[in-house]
Structure 1
Amino acid sequence: MLFASATAFAADKADFDVLITGGTVIDGSGAAGYKADVGIVDDEIVAIGPGLGKTRSAARTIDATGQVVAPGYIDVHTHADKAVLGDEKSRRAALNLLYQGITTINIGADGRHSRKYANRVRGQIAKQYKFLESQPAGMNIFVLLGHDNIRKEVMGADDYKRFSTDKEMSRMADLVRRYMKEGALGMSLGLEYASGRYSDEEELVYLAKAVADYDRRGIIIAHERATGPQHRYYLPSGHNADGLYEDRFRKYPDGWDVIDYVKEGIRIAEQSGVVFDFTHFKITHQSYWGKAREIIDLIEEARGRGAKIYAEQIAFTNSGNSPMNLSLIPTKYYRGKDYSLDELLQTLENPKKNMELRADIAWQIDKHGGPESVELIASKRQPQWVGQTLLEIGQELGMSDPVDVVLEVKKRGDATLPNGGRYRSIQTLSAEDIDEFVKQDWFGTVTDAGIYDLDGGFAQPRVFASFTNKITEFVFERKAITLEHAIRAGTGLPAEMLSLSGRGLLKEGYKADVQVFDPDALAVNARWTLRNSRAYSSGMSYVLVNGEFALDNGKPTFEMAGQVIRNKDAWKH
């Protein structure tokens, strides 16, 4: 347990406003932890060393014996925009992030910055910063400009499903420069989403050059084009995903996989000089597991040539926005919303359609980790199968092909559901691949989270515990990395990636963004279940944001001490 006590010294006579004593300092650089005290005045760390509490006074002293004292985490991929640009103080405190030890976040991920000021071409970024200065959040915030925003601004809301022209690229680059001048630290891409998925590499290099021309410390944070053998919307029966990507398929008739995406990102970085980050990087599809080393080698070679390339992960072996409600039988095989079994049986009687349907189901099973990962979690008509995987149900039925199992569950299951029941994925990512990635000194951690409270339906555990799980699973359980490595992945590393001056390390002269946690009590409480997916991480005792207590003895203070970070603030040196 931690014990907090005010000293007998008056605040105006004390050497420190806050003194944290007796803890193990892990400073965010990757260096080994060491015993030291940490002294804070106003919003700055002013002293780090042993025995400060014996000779110096403090307005408040925290006994951190047995605890880790580390920099607050920097999360470069959140979806906190709506909450922090809103008026609800409780949401601007961002408790699901705070309990993980996060003190700095972005807004403007996945190619989309907030449309709060979308009626203005000028000021879309500047006005977000001004709002956050007038109504601070509980964390420090930097803004990314959105590729999707500028693309639609130039090409129109109804005419973006194509490659851009040279003239349009030039106008987009003008907007990039404008929003960089307004303080953005860089640009985000959403290459699976409209309208980013319609962009070509030529456009992305052109715009990346505009970022780098403003300042070579500017960053591109890119949501992927693909995570496995094909793009997100691919099905074997419909390679072009119902008309998506028409320009791209004329240029790339065989589609593209995660390796192609990595190579594209490397070319963007090398041709533009920009900092390039593969955000929430992962390899999906069981058939593609094991490709981590090939990807690491590609990135290492590019970094060796001087490219400024980084990546980060959501620290779980499951992924996707719908892991509790998988689509195995595509709804295009039904004409209506009643998901008629008769329609499906008619499809199966047609040899060509039968082959297409089976290939599509097999693709979906592979995408979600294979038959041993796809679990039936709800079936009113066949409750005895609930809690079993396709592999286990198949063994019970004497079926070796998991596609046959999916069809059998539909035949015997709930008539109104396209799959005859509800499925979840247990593991969509290879733990061995993740072990390879997390060891790299350029591979960080993110949540990809909005601001969530404890009420509501299923929420991915990443929302409440990505940074926590990085330690509990990959340090303590799997022993893939050290605690110092895990902490650097969320502190010193993102600060390096963003060229973020004065944050990311426990260092004299740096901002007092500090977390204090009990490693023995650190725990992930959010579960991959429908009933208890929303739960704050435990073990975090104190979090200070710019020297103010945001979490005090495990309880939120709702102190809105966050500061805005414009590029001129980040890039002081």
Structure 2
Amino acid sequence: MNRRFQCWSSCCAIVSLSIDLGAAGPDYDLVIRRGKIVDGSGNPWFHGDVAVKGDRILAIGRVEGDAKRGIDATALVVAPGFIDMHSHSDWTLLEDGNAQSKIRQGVTTEVIGESTSAGPFKGKLKPQTVSVKNESIEIRALRDYFAAVERAGISVNIASYVGEGTVWECVMGTSFERPGRGELQQMKGLVAEAMNDGAFGLSTALMMPPSSLATTDDLIELCKVVREHGGIYSTHMRDEGLGVFDSVEEAVRIGERAGVPVDILHLKIADEKYWGRMKEVVALIEDARRRGVNVQANVYPYTRGNNDLASIIPPWAHEGGRAELLARLRDPQQRKRLKHDIRNGVPGWYNHYTAVGGDWRRMLISADNPYKGLTMDRVIALKSDGKSPTPDPLDVLFDLLIEQNGSVSTVYAHHTEEDMNFALSQSWCSIGSDGSALATEGPLRRGNPHPRSFGTFPRVLGVYVRERGLLRLEDAVRKMTSLNAAKIGIRDRGLLQAGLFADITVFDESRIIDRSTYAEPFQYSEGVEYVIVNGQVVVDKGRHTGARPGRALRHVTDQNSVRPEKH
């Protein structure tokens, strides 16, 4: 026989064998057919099918054989489930595990634990007790929280940092004293314990106590523990306004000295005096990356942030905790000092009041109180009506904080579309909502929340991909999926790939859009048709099925990923 013909015959036999085996096929639980597959890698889309068995993706491409259920994805995009890199759903998920406002955006994993995490609660922090299925569960460590969430049942997966603020309070309480060597060692021990429990890294919110009490050297020491476990340092920087350049340099220094990757939360310039300088901020990050420091960032697609009204109170007034803050707000002499510091600033303190130019119209009450949804100028006018002489607006705000026990959630209009767009367009900048899992009804419909809790991911796809063309579809999906997974070390999610967990979002790219606004926040986004979490359908034709297959993801140290210490 001719050798070329013999070789060709052998190849035919192999192909035939493959076809025979494929025809026998596995028993799929679910096949999503004829979709426009955007696999999360950033590579060009292609048409094909996705087969799921159990909680895993079994095959992608042209899938033959039967399935228990089929979904026709003609004219729809099939993507990995979105990973929310910056979420505050730690406790709302225990109130309602359906995670409605997130799952309806296509989010299948939420990363929680920014600065204050749901554990540890030890030392000077009392254990937390939660009720789960009529059973009281005491939370002392992060592992207890994970167990509580899984027992309650959740529709999304969670991954958590350990919060530096929580660790600090465990050891130092509400004192503003500097920790001694022994106390810093206690903090390092708590970080190590949390990393062993499954935390993915250490997170800070350095603009407010207690997190702001930590020095750069303190954070380097804590991050050295994180390095030993192959984790990441995630930071809400110390100052996003006039100190933004110093704050970026601090984040870089921590990453470089401790040998850990860094992710900067909601990268922005939040002071009108520095608007338009995002290119300089990005240049600092690019310079660090060229030196081999793994610094990245995330953003949300809005130009307003959300913080507490108490953030306009300078740090010194927070010493001793909430009761001491309220006492200072009531003291006429302390009020004089507070007014001076708020209007003139304090070195090293990011001041929300000056960041918005002292313009009360750029502050909106988002808390659940009688003034929810009103801008601060309206609140001041209402509370000053009929009073003579007209009170100082800051006195009105101090009184409001006293009435609300020292906390009033507030939305601040403090950064620009142009700066946000430039940050978003960087290859290392991903998406995180900085929002919570809420709902349009039930106990999680409260206050006047920032629309990012309902609209972040559809807004990116609807506005910045479809309407404005700032991002390619493939790049936007990568920023929501594999980029976030790679940042924190989730290795088996974030891509559509055989063998990975079946977290999948199916959406209509011609229709996907956010509906939540600052005036009417309680509106779900549109265009997400199906969401699959760990192989189970949670959103079916746009409706929540009630399924709660979510899991608490635990970071596992891989010694091959542990980076050497910098000297």
TM value normalised by structure 1: 0.74
Check conservation: 1:469, 1:524, Cα contact below 8 A: yes
1:59–1:570 Cα change, 3 Å:
farther
Please name the residue that 1:567 is paired with.
555
Could you tell me which amino acid in structure 1 is paired with residue 484 of structure 2?
P
RMSD across aligned positions (CA): 4.0
Check conservation: 1:292, 1:437, Cα contact below 8 A: yes
1:417–1:359 Cα change, 3 Å:
closer
Q: Which of 235, 248, 255 is residue 269 of structure 1 equivalent to?
A: 255
Check conservation: 2:112, 2:158, Cα contact below 8 A: yes
* Offset from partner CA, 1:446-495 (integer Å, 9 cap, x none): 11122222233311001101111112222223322111111111101011
Q: Which of 166, 190, 198 is residue 149 of structure 1 equivalent to?
A: 166
- Alpha-carbon distance between aligned partners in 2 of 1:194 and 1:281, rounded to the nearest angstrom: 20
Please name the residue that 2:393 is paired with.
418
Please name the residue that 2:73 is paired with.
64
- Alpha-carbon distance between aligned partners in 2 of 1:481 and 1:513, rounded to the nearest angstrom: 23
Q: Which of 184, 195, 206 is residue 210 of structure 2 equivalent to?
A: 195
Please name the residue that 1:382 is paired with.
none
- Alpha-carbon distance between aligned partners in 2 of 1:28 and 1:478, rounded to the nearest angstrom: 21
Please name the residue that 1:492 is paired with.
482
Check conservation: 1:79, 1:107, Cα contact below 8 A: yes
- SS class of match (1:505): coil
Could you tell me which amino acid in structure 2 is paired with residue 170 of structure 1?
Q
- 1:378-397 matches, within 5 Å, as none
- Alpha-carbon distance between aligned partners in 2 of 1:225 and 1:565, rounded to the nearest angstrom: 29
Please name the residue that 1:341 is paired with.
none
* Offset from partner CA, 1:67-103 (integer Å, 9 cap, x none): 110001111221111133x3x4xx1110000111000
* Offset from partner CA, 1:29-71 (integer Å, 9 cap, x none): 1111111111111111111113x2xx32111111111111000
- Alpha-carbon distance between aligned partners in 2 of 1:492 and 1:162, rounded to the nearest angstrom: 42
1:450–1:546 Cα change, 3 Å:
same
Could you tell me which amino acid in structure 1 is paired with residue 147 of structure 2?
K
Check conservation: 1:111, 1:187, Cα contact below 8 A: no
- SS class of match (1:485): helix
1:146–1:137 Cα change, 3 Å:
same
Q: Which of 143, 147, 159 is residue 126 of structure 1 equivalent to?
A: 143
Please name the residue that 1:291 is paired with.
277
Q: Does 1:38 align with 2:50?
A: yes
Long gaps (5+) in structure 2: 1-23, 128-137, 318-326, 331-335, 346-350, 366-373, 401-409, 562-567
Task: Give the C-alpha shift of residue 357 in structure 1.
Answer: 9.1
- Alpha-carbon distance between aligned partners in 2 of 1:199 and 1:354, rounded to the nearest angstrom: 26
Q: Does 1:311 align with 2:300?
A: no
Check conservation: 2:101, 2:454, Cα contact below 8 A: yes
Q: Which of 31, 34, 39 is residue 22 of structure 1 equivalent to?
A: 34
Check conservation: 1:368, 1:425, Cα contact below 8 A: no
- SS class of match (2:246): helix
- 1:105-504 matches, within 5 Å, as 105-114=110-119, 119=126, 124-155=141-172, 157-159=173-175, 161-213=176-228, 215=229, 217-229=230-242, 257-321=243-307, 367-368=355-356, 374=362, 418=393, 427-454=413-440, 455-504=445-494
Could you tell me which amino acid in structure 1 is paired with residue 497 of structure 2?
K
- Alpha-carbon distance between aligned partners in 2 of 1:322 and 1:162, rounded to the nearest angstrom: 24
Provide the aligned length of Structure 1 versus Structure 2.
Answer: 482
Check conservation: 2:531, 2:538, Cα contact below 8 A: yes
Q: Does 1:515 align with 2:505?
A: yes
- SS class of match (2:198): coil
- Alpha-carbon distance between aligned partners in 2 of 1:425 and 1:112, rounded to the nearest angstrom: 22
Q: Which of 89, 92, 97 is residue 92 of structure 1 equivalent to?
A: 97
Task: Give the C-alpha shift of residue 130 in structure 1.
Answer: 2.3
- SS class of match (1:47): strand
- Alpha-carbon distance between aligned partners in 2 of 1:181 and 1:389, rounded to the nearest angstrom: 45
Please name the residue that 2:60 is paired with.
48
- Alpha-carbon distance between aligned partners in 1 of 2:522 and 2:237, rounded to the nearest angstrom: 27
* Offset from partner CA, 1:421-455 (integer Å, 9 cap, x none): 99x98953221111111111111111112222223
Could you tell me which amino acid in structure 1 is paired with residue 208 of structure 2?
Y
Please name the residue that 1:383 is paired with.
none
Task: Give the C-alpha shift of residue 354 in structure 1.
Answer: 12
1:290–1:175 Cα change, 3 Å:
same
Could you tell me which amino acid in structure 2 is paired with residue 557 of structure 1?
T
Check conservation: 2:455, 2:524, Cα contact below 8 A: yes
Could you tell me which amino acid in structure 1 is paired with residue 163 of structure 2?
G
Please name the residue that 1:552 is paired with.
540
Task: Give the C-alpha shift of residue 165 in structure 1.
Answer: 2.4
- Alpha-carbon distance between aligned partners in 2 of 1:274 and 1:366, rounded to the nearest angstrom: 33
Which deviates further from its counterpart, 104-113 or 438-447? 104-113
Check conservation: 2:120, 2:140, Cα contact below 8 A: no
* Offset from partner CA, 1:293-319 (integer Å, 9 cap, x none): 111111111112211211101211222
Please name the residue that 2:14 is paired with.
none
1:506–1:13 Cα change, 3 Å:
closer
Long gaps (5+) in structure 1: 1-11, 230-256, 339-346, 348-352, 378-386, 391-405
- SS class of match (2:530): strand
1:115–1:25 Cα change, 3 Å:
same
1:569–1:104 Cα change, 3 Å:
farther
